[in-house]
Structures are given as structure tokens and as C-alpha cells.
Amino acid sequence: MSLVLHENLSLQPYNTFGVDVRARLFAEARSDAEVYEALSVATARGLPLLVIGGGSNLLLTRDVEALVVRMATRGIRILADDGEKVLLEAEAGEPWHPLVLWALEQGLGGLENLSLIPGTVGAAPMQNIGAYGVELKDVFAGLTALDRQTGELREFALQDCQFAYRDSLFKREAGRWLILRVRFNLSRAPRLHLDYGPVRQRLQSEGIDAPTPMDVSRAICAIRSEKLPDPAVLGNAGSFFKNPLVPAELAQRLRGEYQDLVAYPQADGQVKLAAGWLIERAGWKGFREGDAGVHRLQALVLVNYGSATGSQLHGLAQRIRADIVKRFGVELEMEPNLI
């Protein structure tokens, strides 16, 4: 067996909150063969299998009585290139932002608005990651996943994935599909998405009138670095709550009470509210209780100042959710997966 197993291993280095819990068993899968080995080991030992990537979308509240497998497969390859359109494939364990940079260095556009998002390639479709006007589904070409129920491989096209706002089939059927590799439609003649005001403003402030995809990536990296704390310095999982979708009537009522309400009408008639605005307006920005807190510059980010437990962070999140319901009548949904 090539899979290396570790018993009672701390997962602190493997989750960006830096929560110190232990895994009954831990292994890193560096190939499809080791993924299959992990499935066999879990079955033989009667343990659940928990698959993680970069640990940037996890809130661990207790020791994990499972075989925790970190996807560490690597590889980036161009499958097709007609001189303009390019089909790119990456293994699930590839870190996301280095993949974006690799594509940009090859002159390939499409991923630039998704720069500096933490995590791995395999986790990106789970959440249908998105930022600054672009979602993964906008550049998605397909993926290969292992059906843990049957042991068979399946190819997924765009329509099969049921992508929605921070959602997908893979998230709704958590525990069934293990994503092995993902494909992207990129272009050597990209169409830039500059609708997000701060991105355009950043480029204009730097005197860039005809930006390239690399220029857009650099601008977004600068904006994200100013808004969001580095998990290597301050434990966090990025945006902790989804921006809620509410009926237009509720949004209209709230705007009558709060003229500075941040709201975005949607094509289906609903309105997307800025969760960060709601949390800040409720007075939680900068709140700290022990080592669990809300970031002082970004109300959407919960942080671990050192030794906060997952339960403490979850408790704080629940208090914020209850307060937002009481004040605004709006339900907030967590983005990280709760273990």
C-alpha cells in the first residue's frame, strides 16, 4: 500500500481557521490509486471518509472520527487549443490561486476575477466559487468525479452540476462525489468583467485604460488583500456567510428603514443583500469574545485570534444569525461546511 496513514493527527495545519482538533486517521492522496486505497481503508476499518482540500471552507468543532483524506494530486494540462479557445484541465489537489496565475502566464483569460481565492481546484465546483462578477460556472467545461457509492468514474458537463449561488449538486450530495479533476474553458482573447466598481476604480487609479487579464488579477489581489485577512496570519475561512436572497417586498421595506442598504436586484425578482452590511449595521464588526471574533475591517469574516475552538466560532456565528433575524427579518446561511 502506498497510502501513508497517520493516527490521531492534529488538523490544525489543514484548516485555515487553525482550529486544533484531531483526526482518527489522516492521509494525503497523491494519485487516483491512493484515492481508491483510502476508500478501501475506510471501509475495512469501518470509518467514514472525510475528503478535504485546502481546508479553507471548513469549521471543525470536534475531533473527527473518520479517515480524513487531503487531496494532494497535482497536474495542469492543456487538452485543446485552437489559437483562441483553450480547454484546460487541472487535478483536484492543485491550489486554486497558483492555477489562476499559471493560466494568466500562458496568456489565458477567464479566471482573473477569481484570483486569490483560497482552496483547491477540486473544492471550487462544490461551492461554485465566485467573486467580482464571475462564478466558476462561467468558465466551467467539465469534471471527472468518483462515485463513492459505486466506485465508478463519472464525467459531468455544465448542466449536470446544477450550479447555483455558492451551491452545486456536489454540495447537496455531500459525501457521494469525490472530484478528481476539473476542466475550464479559457480564451486567448478574453472578455473582461469590470462591472464591479472597486475593480474599475483600482485600474483607473493606476492609470490603466486598456487592462489585460493580468492587470485585472493584480487589481483584485490588491482589493482582496486590503479587505480580507491572510489565514496564515489570522485564522479565518474568508466570507463566513452567504449574501442572502430575499423577496423584493422585504428589500423594499428594509430600504425604507435604511437608505444605505446594499442590495442587488436579481433576474428572478429576488434581491441579494450584502451580508457584510447587515452584520456591520447590527454592530458586530470588530466584536471579540476571547479568541473568537469578527474582523475589524470586514464584518463578513469571522476570525480566530489564536486558540478559539470551532464550537466558540460556531456559537458566535449563531448569535450573529439570531440577531440579524431579529433586526432585519433576514436569515443568514453559513458558507463553511460544519463538522
Residues recognised as catalytic = 166, 239, 335
Give me the residues paired with residue 67 across strands.
Answer: 25, 49
Sheet holding 271-273, edge to edge: 245-246, 271-273, 263-265
289 backbone dihedrals φ, ψ, rounded to 5°: -135, 105
* Neighbouring residues of 143: CB distance < 8 A, sequence distance ≥ 6: 125, 155, 156, 161, 179, 180, 181, 182, 183
Residues 32, 68: Cα–Cα separation, whole Å:
16
Nearest 5°: the CA angle 304, 310, 311 is 120
